[in-house]
Amino acid sequence: MIKMLVLDIDGTIYRKNFSASDAVKNALKKLTEDGIKVVLATGRMFSATIPIAKNIGLDSPIVCYQGGLIKECAENGKILLQKDVPEKYAREIIRILREKDIHCNLYMNDGLVVENDNETIKRYTDERNVRYTVVNNFDDIDLKNINKMLAIDTDVKKIEDLQKQLAQQYSKDLYIIRSTPHFCEISNIEATKGNAVRYLADLWNIKKEEIMAVGDQDNDIEMLKAAGIAVAMGNGTEELKKIADYVTDTVENDGVVKAIQKFIKENV
């Protein structure tokens, strides 16, 4: 019996128009009414995820920043777990991204800070309804409580090469993963969705076989490995599908609902 359902957001329950369908909302509502823990696990900021959780009707703790922050579902909710990027590595990554002319989103104290107020950041924040702060130079600010860093570029190959380089260079120090073809995420080495799932499972005394996880990108691989039932979206990456127990339909066709019907509850 499944007692915990862990869901990625973008590409899993959120469609291209950045919304969840009524079918998904209704299915998750029925699961929570049955006492099942429904947890959102995302690379997004906590402040940007709270409205999503409320819109869907969830009140379980939220996993943000790929597992860098787990916080109770309230604006002033209690922090359950926090794993930040050490300042030493943050400054090194900033230097590398500058050299490669790749945009950098810096997340500090659950706020978004950038050096360049360009079209990349405007498009990113407009789509996600996120506020941001512009500074003249990252070198001039105190880099404390860094939730994560995000490298963004329209050139997919550029981001792919960056991820490979950083993953090799910082294999023992940082968690480097692509969350979309255009995004490379840089986090604390322990900040993975998989570690977050295990933390909450221990907190709630839930066994691995009682967990189902659903995602669509490579940053969901560790999350799926931490679950008894691993589900990849039909629109997911090939790497994710390889390790999944089941590949459901696409996000546009309510693949999450179909996975729930197959493994948890038929009448949703």
129-161 pLDDT per residue, tens: 789 999 999 999 999 999 999 999 999 999 999
For the cut 90, the answer to whether the pLDDT of residue 75 exceeds it is no
Distances (CA, A) of 255 to 21, 123, 212: 11, 27, 14
Residues 63, 39 contacting (CB under 8 angstroms) = yes
pLDDT band at residue 35, thresholds of 50, 70 and 90? very high
| 3-class DSSP assignment, residue 162 | helix
**Closest listed residue to residue 223, CA positions, set 20, 53, 8:** 8
Domains of the chain: 4-82+191-263 (3.40.50.1000), 87-188 (3.30.1240.10)
3-class SS letters over 226-244: CCCEEEECCCCCHHHHHHC
Give this prediction's pTM.
0.92
pLDDT at 178: 93
Contact 132, 112 (CB under 8 A): yes
The confidence score (pLDDT) of residue 76 equals 84
Residue 4 bridge partners (DSSP): 37, 211
Question: Using 50, 70 and 90 to split pLDDT, how confident is the model at 52?
Answer: very high
Task: Check if the beta carbon of residue 220 is closer than 8 Å to that of residue 240.
Answer: yes
Quick one: three-class SS letters along 74-99? CCCCCEEEECCECHHHHHHHHHHHHH
Alpha helices in 172-234 (DSSP H): 193-204, 221-225
Helix (H, G, I), strand (E, B) or coil at 188: strand
Q: At what angle do helices 255-263 and 22-33 cross, to 10 degrees?
A: 30
Per-residue pLDDT at 99: 97
In the prediction, which pLDDT does 127 show? 82
What is the token pair recorded at 241? 């599908």
